[in-house]
Homo-oligomer: A and B are copies of this chain.
């Protein structure tokens, strides 16, 4: 059957090797491989500043560098490490680079990486409480801690001074999953309420979000089977800084009800991806309450800032929503993946997501006294994600985490002031957190089209230097550059250098 096969006839079950055959977790290998990995990481972080943020490689480059077929024989771990250094690193977009200003940063910390490493080694699968009591309870505890840092209402917590209520949380992989599971719960509840036989009533359910909402929301709605014709993207404009206008939302919902539809779910965003707009959570909850619609708050990025009292007002009204999610893997120093979802009534989730196969039955689950986290997510299997999140909070404490947020915001503010002080540029929307949306503004006879072209050219040239990576968006029909501060190795000098580079490159473009 080809060269990949070893010969089963020649295979000796309990080992030619003195130590008793192949030992994938041999103590010496574990230590040696992990120490090599730590050395690599240390070197990698040191070299990051000098590496191009965005690589100059063509599609298919890696397949051309590495062998196309898997090896038959084993090789020293050094071989994989060598190929990693020689072929993988040069083709990477370095999200950990201090010169990374694109998208939102994926912030990280020594405590998070260590926690994640231990989780990988323990490799437990805590689908039920019994399958891992400590992992389940650590996750529940970490979520309750974070809820306290965010001053979420007790109704969203697993355990409060008053004991266990109906609220609770779960750590998922992505915001999209948080949206999907709450959409499904809201969908099923609406179908039940409307007396639908099976999913016959599905074509009548409608869902709502501002047009600035992350595209993954609209995708999650389609995944959950909502009719594309009933997925409402409500226009926003500069008059609300691109936040959802509750009056418009109400209008659209009323028109839908008049047309026989059932408003089922509204997604409010605190800190949109495009420009960090903040939808008014409380007013949206009030409008939704008129129709018994589920309100979810997506605070993936900006939720982290709300651990600082001076930003907490962006969540005002959260005590009246049904669910909220935020991702510590974005801005709370916890490596991927880690999205926290809290819901006011966990039964509304588990009603839709519970499974109960024979081989998972156990006394603890039967007692109802425990949380089986598999019933609050898409899958069954799950990493021990609570550990890294808990380690981050345990080690840094509220003080350092707040310092981290404030430092990023201060650097963004500094950058914003630089932009404002230069007549060639404009800040396009007010800066709420650590994202600055700016552009070369039409000046010296430039049209709007010229400006769009100049901004596009500016981004391309900056990114080609390898010394900075910025992404763009379109706000109000204008091509806008997004400068997102916060990569965890970033210091003030990196922001200053990027600004110098932007000024220099802009001058060059203006000359051309």
Contact = CB atoms under 8 A, between A and B. Distances in A.
B24 A31 contact: no
Given A103-B359, A123-B96, A369-B59, A41 B118 contact: yes
A62 interface: yes
Contact of A403 (B11, B35, B62, B117): B11
8 tightest A-B contacts by CB? A225-B225, A174-B379, A91-B134, A24-B109, A176-B379, A62-B137, A70-B145, A198-B227
Interface in A256-305: 273-274
Contacts of A112: 120
A443 interface: no
Contacts of A106: 123-125
A296 to B, nearest CB: 15
A162 interface: no
Contacts of A80: 111, 115, 390-391, 394-395
B14 A492 contact: yes
21 contacts: A4-B148, A5-B309, A5-B398, A6-B402, A13-B406, A25-B45, A25-B489, A35-B35, A44-B122, A62-B133, A70-B146, A75-B395, A93-B126, A120-B336, A125-B336, A175-B380, A215-B380, A223-B353, A224-B224, A327-B381, A329-B381
A491 B20 contact: yes
Contact of A34 (B41, B79, B135): B41
Contact of A108 (B24, B137, B215, B492): B24
A370 B59 contact: yes
Given A25-B108, A60-B159, A95-B132, 20 more contacts: A6-B402, A8-B308, A14-B407, A27-B45, A31-B38, A32-B110, A34-B38, A69-B148, A95-B125, A108-B120, A120-B335, A121-B335, A123-B335, A173-B379, A175-B381, A199-B203, A199-B227, A200-B203, A273-B359, A337-B383
A413 to B, nearest CB: 9
Nearest to A28: B110
A333 interface: yes
Q: SS class of chain A's interface: helix, strand, loop or mixed?
A: helix
B151 A72 contact: no
What is the oligomeric copy number? 2
Interface in A1-51: 1, 4-6, 8, 11, 13-15, 20-22, 24-27, 29-38, 40-42, 44-46
A143 to B, nearest CB: 11
A224 B225 contact: yes
A399 interface: yes
Given A122-B96, A222-B352, A474-B358, A83 B37 contact: no
A255 interface: no
Contacts of A60: 137, 159, 369
Given A369-B59, A407-B21, A26 B474 contact: no
Contacts of A40: 118
A110 B30 contact: yes
A4 B148 CA distance: 9
Contacts of A432: none
Interface residues of A, number: 188
Interface in A67-121: 68-77, 79-80, 83-84, 87-96, 103, 106-118, 120-121
Contacts of A145: 69-70
A4 B395 contact: no
Contacts of A41: 30, 34, 117-118, 121
A130 interface: yes
Interface in A165-217: 173-177, 180, 184, 187, 198-200, 202-203, 214-216
A110 B378 contact: no
Nearest to A42: B31
A30 B45 contact: yes
Given A30-B113, A114-B77, A395-B74, A138 B108 contact: no
A379 B110 contact: no
Given A24-B488, A148-B70, A199 B198 contact: no
